[in-house]
């Protein structure tokens, strides 16, 4: 008896070799693996699933009308990839990310990554050793991130239990808009339906995540116009009630680090002396002052005065506590 894997490969080969579009009935007759004696509805359901799976493999199917009946064949232009010429350096980079992440349980798209690299002709790398994208509950975070990324893509509502940093637990119903990874942890950006507000949730604090299974294939919501998950990836000092416009200076010697450190937040303006002025919104001046020290040297406050005073007061306290 032909198994499902065999049937799918047979179908792919058949659609790739047929010279003219073929009907579902012809496919049923010619492709090994469709059960004999299967009723029409069962066959059509199986054939629909098979087409969907082949598309998920990257195959593009051309559907035409043949005397009122759909007919199918492979679309070569949509299926076959253009020749890609990678340099040795680029190939090494691809191998490294594949070797590090394809089997990392904290990376939610490992299986897809392995196939992607295989299609690009890649292989593993002996120079990469196991590490870990996430440092807490990698299996849980990776699996949840995969589930939620699918819910984002298919625009399906989700419900989940959530315990916030203050220890308050409740159930949320939300429209998932994006997922992001930061500093070893995965996060969901979603519109909380009851509160009608877009919030960020840490996956490690979630329990009992369920994707709405009603109306499969039909989206439950439309994301807001212009939504981008990057707008919700903030630096630690950007959480709080009141926004304050701040200006910091990266010295000329340290200016090369600025684009990496500012993580896309605010605006970097070059000054005549080679330094960079960073205009950024902060909501917690204490945490911004701490951030400046942690990522220094070469980062100085320019405005407002309250930032400079916060930093100075903190430094005096450090000196006093350490016998200065």
Partner 1 sequence: MAARPTAAARARRLLAILPRLEPNAEVPLASLAASVGAAPEELAADITTLSLCGVPPFDPLSLVDVYIDGETVVVGMGAPALDRPVRLSPAEGRALIAALETAGFVPTDPLLAKVAAALSAEVDPTDIAAHVRTASAEGGLGDVHATVMSAAERGESIDATYFSAGSGRTRMRRIRPLRVFVERGVWYVVGYDEGLAEERTFRLDRMRDAVPTGERFERPAGIPDIEASFRPSSAPHAADVLLDDASGAEERDWPGATIEPATSGTGARLRVPYATPGWLARRVVASLGAAEVVGPAEARAAVRELATKLLAELEGGDRTEG
3-state secondary structure 243-311: CEEEEEEECCCCHHHHHHHHCCCCEEEECCCCCEEEEEEECCHHHHHHHHHHCCCCEEEEECHHHHHHH
Looking at beta carbons only, is 52 or 195 nearer to partner 1? 52
- Minimum Å gap between C-beta 196 and partner 1 is 21
Which distant-in-sequence residues (6+ apart) come within 8 Å of 5 by Cβ?
none
Q: How many residues does the chain have?
A: 324
- Minimum Å gap between C-beta 171 and partner 1 is 24
Answer positive or negative: Cα dihedral of 73, 74, 76, 77.
positive
Looking at beta carbons only, is 169 or 318 nearer to partner 1? 318
Neighbours of 296 (CB within 10 A): 12
Looking at beta carbons only, is 12 or 144 nearer to partner 1? 12
- Minimum Å gap between C-beta 18 and partner 1 is 8
Q: Of 244, 251, 256, 226, give the one whose Cα is nearest residue 307.
A: 244
Neighbours of 181 (CB within 10 A): 17
- Minimum Å gap between C-beta 126 and partner 1 is 8
Q: Of 238, 265, 247, give the one whose Cα is nearest residue 306.
A: 247
Looking at beta carbons only, is 60 or 63 nearer to partner 1? 60
Looking at beta carbons only, is 87 or 213 nearer to partner 1? 87
Angle CA 110–101–148, to nearest 5: 45
- Minimum Å gap between C-beta 160 and partner 1 is 18
Looking at beta carbons only, is 171 or 315 nearer to partner 1? 315
- Minimum Å gap between C-beta 38 and partner 1 is 17
Neighbours of 122 (CB within 10 A): 20
Looking at beta carbons only, is 104 or 172 nearer to partner 1? 104
- Minimum Å gap between C-beta 199 and partner 1 is 16
- Minimum Å gap between C-beta 220 and partner 1 is 16
Looking at beta carbons only, is 85 or 213 nearer to partner 1? 85
Cβ atoms 92, 125 nearer than 8 A: yes
Instruction: Tell how strand 267-270 and strand 185-192 pair up.
Output: unpaired
Instruction: Tell how strand 299-303 and strand 244-250 pair up.
Output: antiparallel
Burial class (CB in 10 A: 0-12, 13-18, 19+), 300: middle
- Minimum Å gap between C-beta 135 and partner 1 is 5
The three-class DSSP label of residue 22 is: strand
Looking at beta carbons only, is 179 or 282 nearer to partner 1? 179
């Amino acid at each position: 008896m032909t198994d499902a894997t065999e049937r799918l490969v047979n179908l792919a080969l058949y659609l790739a070799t047929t010279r003219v579009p073929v009907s579902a009935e012809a496919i049923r007759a010619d492709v090994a693996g469709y059960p004999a004696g299967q009723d029409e509805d069962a066959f059509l359901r199986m054939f629909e699933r098979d087409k969907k799976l082949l598309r998920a493999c990257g195959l593009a199917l051309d559907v035409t009308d043949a005397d009122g009946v759909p007919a199918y064949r492979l679309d070569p232009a949509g299926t076959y990839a253009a020749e890609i010429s990678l340099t040795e350096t680029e190939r090494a980079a691809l191998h490294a990310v594949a070797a590090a992440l394809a089997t990392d349980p904290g990376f939610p798209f490992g299986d897809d990554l392995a196939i992607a690299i295989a299609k690009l002709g890649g292989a593993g790398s002996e120079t990469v050793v196991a590490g870990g994208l996430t440092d807490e509950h990698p299996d849980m975070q990776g699996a949840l991130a995969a589930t939620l990324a699918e819910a984002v893509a298919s625009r399906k509502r989700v419900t989940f239990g959530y315990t916030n940093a203050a220890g308050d637990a409740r159930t949320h119903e939300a429209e998932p808009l994006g997922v992001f990874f930061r500093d070893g942890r995965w996060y969901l950006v979603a519109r909380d339906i009851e509160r009608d507000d877009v919030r960020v949730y840490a996956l490690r604090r979630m329990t009992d995540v369920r994707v709405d299974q009603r109306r499969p294939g039909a989206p439950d919501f439309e994301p807001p116009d212009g939504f981008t998950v990057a707008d919700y990836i903030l630096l630690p000092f950007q959480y709080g009630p009141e926004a304050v416009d701040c200006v910091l200076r990266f010295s000329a010697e340290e200016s090369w680090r600025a684009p990496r450190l500012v993580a896309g937040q605010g605006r970097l303006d070059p000054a005549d002396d080679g330094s960079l002025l960073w205009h950024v919104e902060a909501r917690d001046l204490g945490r911004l002052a701490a951030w400046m020290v942690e990522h220094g040297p070469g980062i100085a406050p320019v405005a407002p005065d309250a930032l400079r005073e916060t930093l100075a007061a903190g430094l005096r306290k450090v000196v006093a506590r350490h016998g200065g």
